Amino acid sequence: MRFYGREQEIAFLKEIRNTAERVARFTVVTGRRRIGKTTLIREAYKDEPFVYFFVARKAESDLCEVYLEEISEKLGIPTLGSSRHFSEIFRYLMQLSQTRSFTLVIDEFQDFFRVNKAVYSEMQDIWDEFEKTSKINLVVCGSIYSLMQKIFKNKKEPLYGRNTAELRVKPFKPSVLKQIMADAKPDYTKEDLLAMFTFTGGVAKYVSQLVDGDALDKDAMIRYIVSPNSTFLNEGKNNLIEEFGKDYGIYFSILSCIARGKNTRSEIEDVIGKEVGGYLTNLAEEYELISKRQPLFEKSANKNVRYELDDVFYSFWFRFIFKYSYIIEIENYAKLQEIIGRDYSTFSGLMLERYFHRVAMESGEFTRIGRWWDRRWKNEINCVDFRRDSAKRASTMALAAPKIDMIAEDELSDKVTFCEIKRQADEISIGVLKQRAEVMLQATHEFKKYDISYKGLSMEDM
């Protein structure tokens, strides 16, 4: 698959490169594994040679040997001859950058923890010594989010506050995902697009694997993902065990609960059988894998709290792959494919909510996008605002029917739209949505002078 999107990120990195012609720049690039950090950096700097160091998990002296060869090849200059310590190489490059501006990329930067923890303090000393006179464009990236946060956000760490810029690489936006599908399969259906989002969440590597494997409809994707030798099967485990360390078992159990719809603290504790408050805090704040969701305008920080897995792929992986790992162990891939197919409609309906949420965010039209629900009424509202008129027939659907709710507001124009999101358009009732919205307005006393509209969104609107 060719390179797609990332125009803003590339422009950001190029602007930093231009600034480094005059002054030293130190940029930290983060993002989950498979998101495309290295590919992005290579694309941004493809028009010039840059020095690329990959921090492999081997002896420091072996790394230095590889790094010296890279310097000689990319910069076309003789190097130190030999070196056993990274600090010597970094000092050499910082000295060189006083008279010559160039880019140095260090990939999997957090793995210096395994090679030699002293590297970070040594880099700090050298950076502080040469920063004012250097013209280096230093870019470091890493996939273990908690470690990258520790290195650069923990005040006790030597490199705290040293970076001059930060870039968080996120999944493909809906518009990019649509472009990819159009190129790969010009006659793609809305169901194909929803399946691609449901199974990948827009993560570049997963999208690329399905495109290159010509798995471009729902059934083909399921067969590709759930098959012998599929890299998808161990993906969640491979990515997250290193993040969690020895406590990965309890974290996996919590994430599995959330993925299966057990998303309140009490529900999770009932399943797991122990107190999980500290683990939930870590998942939300240290690892940034879940979010604490509350109804818009909820006054209490601890009431009506629901937890949600932010990563769509992990939602799928924990819901189906981790949950049914015992089926994979006996290599009954066909049976798991059947299970995913059986539950696909319900699960993809939930992911459709997230898809439209991202579409609204990408539009840049709104100042607030959120949800609202009233536990007493068991009433929820799906809301995303698109400024388009739509009227659907009112139904006799019970007001108490449970739903997942979202609201979008533009406070600059005093407009808000309540929207119901369903896979099929004929399942949407604007009449019932209006009743639910009225409950919300009476409960919160918000949007009193707003222009209020209502919208139904289905796969037809993707």
| pLDDT of 125 higher than 60 | yes
Exposure string (b/e) for 9-25, b if CB count within 10 Å is 16 or more? bbeebeebbebbeeebb
d(C-alpha 332, C-alpha 227), whole Å = 9
The domains spanning 235-330 and 364-461 adopt the same CATH topology: no
- Comparing 442 with 85, which gets the higher pLDDT? 85
CB 272 within 8 Å of CB 229 = no
Residue range 7-168, CATH number: 3.40.50.300
Task: Please report which confidence band the pLDDT of residue 391 belongs to, taking 50, 70 and 90 as the band edges.
Answer: very low
Exposure string (b/e) for 176-209, b if CB count within 10 Å is 16 or more? bbbebbeebbeebeeebbbbbbbbbbbbbbbbbb
Sequence-distant (6+) residues with CB within 8 A of 335 are: 327
Average pLDDT over residues 185-190: 98
Pair of tokens at residue 165 = 């810029």
Beta bridge partners of 87: none
| pLDDT of 256 higher than 80 | yes
Q: How confident is the model at residue 373, as a pLDDT? A: 85
CB 304 within 8 Å of CB 294 = yes
Nearest to 239 by CA among 229, 231, 230: 231
| pLDDT of 392 higher than 80 | no
Q: How confident is the model at residue 381, as a pLDDT? A: 56
Q: How confident is the model at residue 439, as a pLDDT? A: 85
Q: What pLDDT, in 10s, does the model give residues 42-71?
A: 999 999 999 999 999 999 999 999 999 999
- Whole-structure pTM value: 0.90
Say yes or no: domain 235-330 is CATH 2.40.50: no
Q: How confident is the model at residue 303, as a pLDDT? A: 86
| pLDDT of 400 higher than 90 | no
- Comparing 435 with 61, which gets the higher pLDDT? 61
Q: How confident is the model at residue 406, as a pLDDT? A: 79
| pLDDT of 403 higher than 80 | no
If you average pLDDT over every residue of the chain, what do you get?
Answer: 92
Q: What pLDDT, in 10s, does the model give residues 128-164?
A: 999 999 999 999 999 999 999 999 999 999 999 999 9
Task: Please report which confidence band the pLDDT of residue 440 belongs to, taking 50, 70 and 90 as the band edges.
Answer: confident
Average pLDDT over residues 111-117: 95
d(C-alpha 210, C-alpha 178), whole Å = 14
Task: Please report which confidence band the pLDDT of residue 235 belongs to, taking 50, 70 and 90 as the band edges.
Answer: very high
Specify the fold of 364-461. Trna Endonuclease; Chain: A, domain 1 (3.40.1350)
As a whole-number percent, the residues of the chain with pLDDT over 70 amount to 93
Length of the chain equals 462
Q: What pLDDT, in 10s, does the model give residues 295-345?
A: 888 888 888 899 999 999 999 999 999 999 999 999 999 999 999 999 999
CB 200 within 8 Å of CB 354 = no
Specify which of 169-183, 369-383, 416-430 reaches the highest per-range mean pLDDT. Answer: 169-183
Q: What pLDDT, in 10s, does the model give residues 333-390?
A: 999 999 999 999 999 999 999 999 999 999 999 999 998 887 654 445 554 343 444 4
- Comparing 406 with 84, which gets the higher pLDDT? 84
Q: What pLDDT, in 10s, does the model give residues 279-288?
A: 999 999 999 9
- DSSP for 110-124 reads GGHHHH-THHHHHHH
Average pLDDT over residues 403-426: 90
Strands 306-309 and 415-421: unpaired
Task: Please report which confidence band the pLDDT of residue 397 belongs to, taking 50, 70 and 90 as the band edges.
Answer: very low
| pLDDT of 444 higher than 60 | yes
Q: How confident is the model at residue 382, as a pLDDT? A: 56
Q: How confident is the model at residue 304, as a pLDDT? A: 86
| pLDDT of 17 higher than 80 | yes
Give me the residue spans of the domains in the chain: 7-168, 235-330, 364-461
- Comparing 434 with 326, which gets the higher pLDDT? 326
Rg (CA), the chain: 25
